[in-house]
Amino acid sequence: MPDVSGLPLVGGASVVARAQQCDRGSGAYCAVELVVANQRYRSSLDLLVSERRHLRSVGWSLANGTTGNENAADSPGHKMRVTFSTAEGDLQGIELGWIQRPRNITLALSHALFARSPTLSMLLEPGSGGG
């Protein structure tokens, strides 16, 4: 299970929902899904841009996400990988069937969108370097 405390978040961010997801297949792994809010920002897009900058500033390498709405970053040593999107971007991916999220994550994203709360959906998983 990836250690969420190893995920650098911009100042003022708080985790408002969390879920564990495990795949017990041949490449077994567990991941943590998070909904992260930060009222210091005007919009979810502002929060996303700031989080990307922050990750890069602490040594994470930026990468492409699985869908066009997603961003990703790999930790130094590639021990962890985070994929993240705005609440709106993730909800669009869920609606179109591109991604799946646990019910509590989907509900938290929906509530944040309607409350106009600057919010990100984040998926933290082991990277190619283990961890």
Among 95, 83, 94, residue whose Cα is nearest residue 31: 83
Task: Look at residue 129 and tell me whether its pLDDT is greater than 80.
Answer: no
The conformation of residue 76, written as its DSSP 8-state character, comes to: G
**pLDDT at residue 27, rounded to an integer:** 66
- Report CA-CA distances (Å) from 22 to 2, 33, 65, 95: 11, 11, 19, 22
33 is a domain residue: yes
User: Do residues 6 and 75 lie in contact, with contact meaning Cβ atoms separated by under 8 Å?
Assistant: yes
106 is a domain residue: yes
The CA distance from 79 to 4, in Å, is 12
Task: Look at residue 20 and tell me whether its pLDDT is greater than 80.
Answer: yes
77 is a domain residue: yes
pLDDT digits (tens, 9 = 90+) for 95-126: 998 888 999 999 999 999 999 999 999 999 98
Task: Look at residue 131 and tell me whether its pLDDT is greater than 80.
Answer: no
131 is a domain residue: no
pLDDT digits (tens, 9 = 90+) for 24-81: 776 677 899 999 999 999 999 999 999 999 999 999 999 988 888 899 999 999 999 9
Count of structural domains, the chain: 1
22 is a domain residue: yes
114 is a domain residue: yes
Range of the domain at 8: 4-126
